[in-house]
Chains A and B, each alone.
Chain A
Amino acid sequence: MTRVRRWLPGLLLVSPSIIAIAVFVYGMLGWNFKVALTDQHDEISAGSFVGLENFTGIWSEERWGLSVRHAIVFTVVFVAGALVLGWFLAFLMEKGIRGEGGFRAIYLFPMAVSFIATGVVWRWLLNSGTGERAVGLNGLFGYLGLDFLQWGWFRDQDWGMAAMALPAVWQMSGYVMALFLAGFRGVPEELRESARVDGCTEWQVYRHIVLPFLRPVTLAALIILGHISLKVFDLIVAVSGKQIITDVPAIFMWTAVFDSHDPAKGATIAAYIVLSVCVFVVPYLIWNARRGDRT
């Protein structure tokens, strides 16, 4: 009894949040799946259970295939780009540099601004006009005599989504830099020093001492960038709106709900977005919880 009195107040204090999370996160996810399993293709009918029909049927739609392809291209370019650039900036700064605070502030500030605001300028920077009609970055390449670099950016039929990843890399690489910088600083200087005394080259020190320390940070950065990427929405709305050429599942879902008024289809796309995020977030959370138990 005394034991119960010891922990019960804590449970009571957290219970509003537990209920809220149970209802709004897990309950709504379940509800969404339920809608996705029905044929409720308008807003009036109740819809009846059709099993996985929506989940399989959507693959025969050309638009869905395109949006999945776009999301994959975007994810690969964005995650790789932000990781490499963030790592490189941290690598340049890790040994201490004059004005470090200033550099950090500038690389990080895009994080504080919304994609909707930065999209205003990126839409113009990534303008697809070339040659005489070149403006934005293409125009800048023109001034610099680098005309051969001009291309259609996000309007490019095949690789437009790679251009769309550019603003996202700009926005997020400062964050990755901060993560890596913390990782670099976590390496005890004595370890590096003793490896040098043992005759290791700087590269070997980096490869065998520093790199293992960066692994957890790299994993965390991958998870964070990956889950941002799979649900990317604001950026695309701001830069290109609802154009098919930059369609991704999140935009498709939005138009399914508001333009086609098709809850079942919207819920199906939403479920796919959730599943794609779960594939790597769930193992990460389990790994994280186990690690927490050990320490």
Chain B
Amino acid sequence: MTTKHVRFALLLLFVLLFLLPVYVLLVTSFKPLSEADPSQAWNLPRVWTTEAWGVAWEKLQPGIVNSFLLAVPGSLISAALGAMNGYVLSKWRFPGSELVFTLFLFGMFVPYQGVMIPLVQLMVNLGVYGGIPGLVLAHVVYGIPICTLIFRNYYVTIPDELIEASRVDGAGMLRTFASIVLPVSGPAFAVVIIWQFTSMWNDFLFAIFLTGPSSWPTTVMLNNIAGAQTVPYSQQMAAAILASIPTMIIYVLLGRFFMRGLMAGALKG
């Protein structure tokens, strides 16, 4: 037994611990009603069935549609704003732009509870309270700091000489952006879109404060399903998995970019 083996064994042990909740979710979701009982939750199903999945899908489906209506446009708008801000704050600075950036960053940490009561009031006054557009607006606005940060940190790596050369050639700000910066922005767009999609999909706080029943996204619907004493365990757990599938797919396929978004959250600027 070398230390390498010990390390490997410990890591495997932690894998088992990390997957414990996943095991319970999966096996319970495939159980028939008769077996979906807390006392049997560690057991494998004696009879495998997807009946709970069918019911869960039916209950959750409107929320999933709403979540897509929220997260797809929301993440695209966020990315567009982030790219513009990040470009200016790294390559087309104006007096005070560093201060603006720091003031933006604080917005990343502000607990949303601190703006919620006025935000609800404002949305009511604007007539967008309760619907998906208002929720998109909130996510886009409060997503500006992180999106700006990710793009800024990415654009900093583009050599200033390239921008300067384009300027000397007489190209303006937008022209330089379109011809020099945009063509190499792919990875940053991927990071921001994935990051924003995931946080909009998983958000609960904004959704519960700002939307009404017809616009409830997946998380709120799931919480209602899970909170109801009458819903069998198998359906609750199937619904929880269903609600997680879109972000899990993104994570599996594009985990690399997801990681970069996470690291940006650590302000490595």
**A206 proximal to B (CB < 8 A):** no
Distance of A231 Cα from B116 Cα, bound (Å): 13
Distance (whole angstroms) from the CB of B186 to the closest CB of chain A: 21
Task: Check A17 against B85 for contact (C-beta < 8 Å).
Answer: yes
Of A13, A89, A108, A234, the residue contacting B84 (CB under 8 A) is A13
Interface of A is mostly: helix
Task: Check A97 against B8 for contact (C-beta < 8 Å).
Answer: yes
Task: Check A170 against B18 for contact (C-beta < 8 Å).
Answer: yes
Task: Check A234 against B20 for contact (C-beta < 8 Å).
Answer: no
How big is the B interface, by class?
35 or more
Question: CB within 8 Å of A: which of B58-103?
Answer: 81, 84-85, 87-89, 92-95, 97-98, 100, 102-103
**A266 proximal to B (CB < 8 A):** yes
Task: Check A270 against B255 for contact (C-beta < 8 Å).
Answer: no
**B183 proximal to A (CB < 8 A):** no
Task: Check A136 against B38 for contact (C-beta < 8 Å).
Answer: yes
Task: Check A115 against B269 for contact (C-beta < 8 Å).
Answer: no
Task: Check B115 against A234 for contact (C-beta < 8 Å).
Answer: no
Task: Check B113 against A28 for contact (C-beta < 8 Å).
Answer: no
Distance (whole angstroms) from the CB of A174 to the closest CB of chain B: 8
Closest 5 CB pairs of A and B: A114-B202, A274-B114, A28-B115, A10-B92, A7-B94
Give me the interface of A with B, judged by CB distance under 8 Å.
7-11, 13-14, 16-18, 20-21, 24-29, 31-32, 35, 89, 92-93, 97-98, 103, 105-125, 127, 135-136, 139-140, 143, 170, 174-175, 178-179, 182, 217, 220-221, 223-224, 227, 230-231, 233-234, 237-238, 241, 249-250, 253-254, 257, 263, 266-267, 269-271, 273-274, 277, 281-282, 285, 288-289, 292-293
Give me the interface of B with A, judged by CB distance under 8 Å.
4, 7-8, 10-11, 14-15, 18-21, 24-25, 38-39, 41-42, 81, 84-85, 87-89, 92-95, 97-98, 100, 102-107, 109-120, 122, 138, 141-142, 144-145, 148, 172-174, 198, 201-205, 208-209, 219, 222-223, 226-227, 233, 236-237, 239-241, 243-244, 247-248, 250-251, 255, 258-259, 262-263, 265-269
